């Protein structure tokens, strides 16, 4: 009796639990399982679609059959026959029925009939095509001055920063050297510091501001200032040149910041920019201080002294002469003479006379049986037979 009562209870309980589980799971679990199945199918579809797109791209068109005949080699495409890819395009696959070639990506290029693109060398670039089927670059372009490309395969050249520069086709920017600067981005060259200013910095990005002090100067593009040389001075700041000492004055100092005041004494002289005074040469003199030039000895006089401070007083004797600035007198040549002292030139012998020697004070008459009808002669000529002295007349 007990077992008969308990058995139906167990079966009844089991049925209730099963029905309860089914009642609780059916609405919510079924929905989740259905949604998961749909997602799984969608992901599988996307993967198959991606594979399809890649396949179609490799063939060059959608819906074309598999590559079964390698009629067209890589670097060509099908257009009523195999045709070479144009410049800027490539085709890597050896396959029939490819209807297009692909454009090279940025930083690369291709010549006609290419199976692949080549990376642009450092210092060059190529821009991106508008799409994968648009033509790419058929050659690379050199980076412009002020730009650079440090690596191969560059799509856009970088711009040089301030304080640096580059020439075209550069792989790197160069730093501006001392004495120059570049204040703008993409500089093709650096700018020299102004004359009178300087900069010892490299890679300078602003104009040079350091100024040379008095006693110094600088040319454009200077990295340091230079002291004024001996014989010159600079009394202002920012000088681009030094001023030469005046003629008749001198200075042996370097870096002089005031005008030259030392004056040459008599017997000496100096040209502009002199660091020392020079003695007057022989044949000249200077009787005043601060002379810029020496005075030449007068004609008919001479001096062999150097550093002479008074006028030349030595006078040429008879039979001699001198020109201006003479250091000695010269003898009158044969055929001439000088009868006075201090002669500035010699006189020619008259006709009928001659002088065979140099340094003479007169000319001699032609001997009997001789004649001379020209002036300034050193010999007389014999009269012909049957003639006599005078004009050797018959």
Q: 3-state DSSP call for residue 24?
A: helix
One domain, residues 289 and 345:
no
Question: Which of 267, 297, 327 finishes a domain?
Answer: 297
One domain, residues 338 and 274:
no
- Rounded Cα distance between 275 and 251, Å, is 5
Q: Which residue has the higher pLDDT, 18 or 102?
A: 102
One domain, residues 333 and 288:
no
- % of the chain at pLDDT higher than 70: 78
- Rounded Cα distance between 338 and 6, Å, is 181
How many domains does the chain contain in total?
2
Please state, rounded to an integer, the average pLDDT across all residues of the chain.
Answer: 85
- Rounded Cα distance between 205 and 162, Å, is 5
Long-range contact pairs involving 208-214 (C-beta distance under 8 Å, separation at least 24): 208/179, 208/181, 211/237, 211/238, 212/237, 212/238, 212/239, 213/237, 213/257, 214/239, 214/257
One domain, residues 328 and 387:
yes
As a 3-state breakdown, the chain gives helix, strand, coil percent values, each rounded to 5, of 15, 20, 65
Domain membership flag for residue 215:
no
One domain, residues 370 and 328:
yes
One domain, residues 374 and 326:
yes
> In this predicted structure, what is the pLDDT of residue 297?
98
CA 52 → CA 65, 69, 142, distances in Å?
12, 20, 40
Domain membership flag for residue 3:
no
One domain, residues 237 and 282:
yes
pTM above 0.95, yes or no: no
Domain membership flag for residue 56:
no
Burial 222-259 (b: 16+ CB within 10 A, else e): bbebebbbbbbbbeeebbeebbbbbbbbbbebbbbbee
Domain membership flag for residue 82:
no
One domain, residues 248 and 291:
yes
> In this predicted structure, what is the pLDDT of residue 175?
98
Question: Which of 240, 262, 297 finishes a domain?
Answer: 297
Task: Reply yes or no on whether the pLDDT at 7 is more than 60.
Answer: no
* Token code pair at residue 187: 């500089």
Q: Please, what is the end-to-end C-alpha distance for the chain in angstroms?
A: 211
Task: For residue range 174-223, list pLDDT tens digits in order.
Answer: 999 999 999 999 999 999 999 999 999 999 999 999 999 999 999 999 99
> In this predicted structure, what is the pLDDT of residue 68?
46
Rounded average pLDDT over 112-121: 92
Question: Would you put residue 12 in left (φ > 0), alpha (ψ -120 to 50) or beta?
Answer: alpha
Rounded average pLDDT over 36-42: 65
Task: For residue range 69-87, list pLDDT tens digits in order.
Answer: 457 888 888 777 888 888 8
Domain membership flag for residue 352:
yes
Domain membership flag for residue 20:
no
Which residue range forms the structural domain that includes residue 328?
Answer: 316-394
**The domain that contains 361 carries what CATH number?**
2.10.50.10
> In this predicted structure, what is the pLDDT of residue 48?
57
Domain membership flag for residue 175:
no
One domain, residues 282 and 344:
no
Domain membership flag for residue 21:
no
Q: What pairing do the DSSP bridges indicate for beta strands 180-181 and 164-165?
A: unpaired
């Amino acid at each position: 009796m007990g077992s008969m009562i308990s058995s139906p209870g167990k079966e009844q309980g089991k049925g209730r639990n099963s029905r309860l589980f089914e009642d609780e799971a059916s609405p919510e679990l079924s929905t989740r399982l259905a949604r998961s199945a749909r997602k799984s199918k969608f992901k599988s579809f996307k993967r198959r679609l991606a594979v399809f797109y890649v396949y179609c791209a490799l063939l060059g068109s959608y819906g074309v059959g598999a590559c079964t005949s390698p009629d067209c080699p890589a670097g060509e495409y099908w257009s009523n026959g195999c045709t070479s890819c144009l410049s800027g395009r490539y085709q890597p696959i050896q396959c029939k029925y490819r209807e297009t070639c692909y454009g090279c990506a940025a930083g690369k290029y291709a010549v006609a009939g290419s199976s692949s693109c080549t990376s642009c060398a450092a210092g060059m670039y190529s821009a991106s095509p508008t799409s994968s089927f648009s033509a790419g670059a058929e050659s690379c372009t050199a980076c412009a001055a002020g730009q650079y490309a440090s690596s191969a395969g560059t799509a856009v050249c970088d711009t040089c920063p301030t304080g640096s520069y580059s020439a075209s086709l550069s792989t790197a920017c160069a730093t501006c050297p001392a004495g120059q600067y570049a204040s703008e981005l993409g500089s093709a060259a650096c700018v020299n510091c102004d004359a009178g200013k300087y900069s010892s910095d490299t890679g300078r990005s602003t104009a040079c501001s350091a100024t040379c002090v008095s006693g110094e100067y600088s040319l454009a593009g200077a990295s340091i200032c230079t002291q004024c040389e001996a014989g010159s001075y600079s009394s202002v700041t920012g000088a681009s040149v030094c001023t030469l000492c005046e003629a008749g004055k001198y200075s042996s100092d370097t870096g002089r910041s005031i005008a030259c005041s030392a004056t040459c004494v008599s017997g000496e002289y100096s040209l502009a920019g002199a660091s020392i005074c020079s003695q007057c040469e022989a044949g000249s003199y200077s009787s005043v201080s601060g002379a810029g030039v020496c005075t030449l000895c007068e004609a008919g006089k001479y001096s062999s002294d150097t550093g002479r401070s008074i006028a030349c007083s030595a006078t040429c004797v008879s039979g001699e002469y001198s020109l201006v600035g003479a250091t000695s007198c010269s003898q009158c040549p044969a055929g001439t003479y000088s009868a006075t002292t201090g002669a500035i030139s010699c006189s020619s012998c008259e006709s009928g006379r001659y002088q065979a020697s140099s340094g003479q004070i007169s000319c001699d008459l032609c001997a009997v049986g001789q004649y001379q009808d020209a002036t300034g002669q050193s010999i007389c000529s014999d009269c012909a037979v049957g003639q006599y002295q005078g004009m050797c007349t018959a």
